[in-house]
Structure 1
Amino acid sequence: MSATTTTTATSTLATLPLATFEDVRDRFFPGTPVSYAENFTDNAVHDKLVVHIGARAGSTRIRDKNVRRLGGIPLIGYTILAARALGADRVILNTDSEEYCRIGEAFGAECPFIRPGELARPDVSPGLASYYAARKVLQEGYPAGYWVEMYPTSPFRNGATLRRYVEVLRGAGSCVAVNRITPPPGRVYAPGGRSVSLDRDQGLVFYKATGTFLGYALDADKRFWRHHEIIRNPVELIDIDTDRDWELAESILAAGAYDFGMELPC
């Protein structure tokens, strides 16, 4: 292989998006295990609750939607205030924008780092940015025990409901807010690859995770069972992705049609 070919191949690999936890580990934490296990080998108590809010700049459908004002409050403000209301020990805003950091800090979040550009691409999974943040927090020696992902595009959350989720999380080691969906026709595949006929198997419940609350124990030994909370209030299922979503959220706020269960700034 010529030098030119080698250079081209290396350049191509460098432009590929990070796709796995292994990719993130190799890029930012080389020589360490992929799992968090090494951080829980001591006898120290790891019981702190960290809420992680990922908010990269450069939204494609709605320009800078994460900091655009909704009902007078920047969109990320709703999620930060909700995180504080549930009793989080730390609320971390993970962003590649210093402007977003300033806005987030004004609402009570912290920005201990600026997200690397490789993790701020639109073709990189938000889960990888969250993994990077968790590794950074554990690397600094903070006794984080529970990690909660809250997407800034889901502004409607009730304070009392969130605190109940936290209680479940601490007991089960897992708590994810989900949306019940209509079963697809035909056959589906269950975890493990088992084929399931929807004509024969009755009583099945289909759901998908939402960005409202995705919590888990960082220490895998503390994840006793997977607990899912079905969101029954349709307002809480609003995930702002389009102008129509934004207009719907504005109309709900203008009508005072949702109870946040916490104080919001005017």
Structure 2
Amino acid sequence: MDDDIADDDAAPSLNAPSDLTAEYAEGAVVLNWTDNSDNEDGFYIYREYVTAGEKEFEKIGEVGADVTTYVDEDFSCDNDANYYVTAFAGTDESDPSNTASPGLVICAPSDLTAEYTEFGVELNWTDNSEIEDGFYIYREYADKEFVNVGTVGPNITTFVDDTFECDREATYHVVAFVGEVESEPTGDVDTGLVVCAPTNLSVDAYYGDTLEDIDIELFWDDNSEIEDGYRIEMLVPDKQDWEELVTLPADSTSYSYTIDCGDYVKDAQYRV
């Protein structure tokens, strides 16, 4: 009789959760599972790091009844980890769910900058990983897809994209990689519109129709197909600031003007 009473009063068994998944996103591991019990007080979440060699599960959190997701914000990148979840009611605990892993998570680079120079687009970033084999550099022109435009080795934090095409705007991001595994990308950075610069500027100065005048002629190559015009500036010795001389319409490739001999500055510099 006592045995029958004990059986009747025994707490119903807890069904183990199932279908556990683990996905790394935005600096945390997101866990989702199926709740197969209708009498749990909540769920315990367990984690073991694989890469670090700990190989021992520890409880890292718990959620209430009927909750089927958990975000592990304390996960350390440059690691792989295994997770499982159990249901609990009081001091009773179910069998564990299946084990799930986000896979190897490489610490992503950050602080990417992009600056256009005469040699191409110079990229610089911060290396946050201690295990990367190197970095992939990705570029996207407007309305196109990101493509890999370069690779550098571990601990290198700069790259010059000398294949960038001017008269365009591009977006870049960088990822760290280990084997075939890539980290999350840095934030995207834009170059802004880069107009193809004029080249081969030449300046000629000679006497005009009278010896009292100096004719000055400037010539250059127009390399852009999108310019609105050209601005010619002059720097006079003993002055620190460039002064605008004239603004010209698009497709211009020369400019000439005449000054009095007394106003001619032999060592003046020009730029277009």
Q: Give the structure-2-normalised TM-score.
A: 0.20
Larger radius of gyration: 2
Which gives a bigger RCO, structure 1 or 2 (Cα 8 Å, sep 6+)?
A: 1
**Structure with greater strand share of residues:** 2
Structure with greater proportional helix content: 1
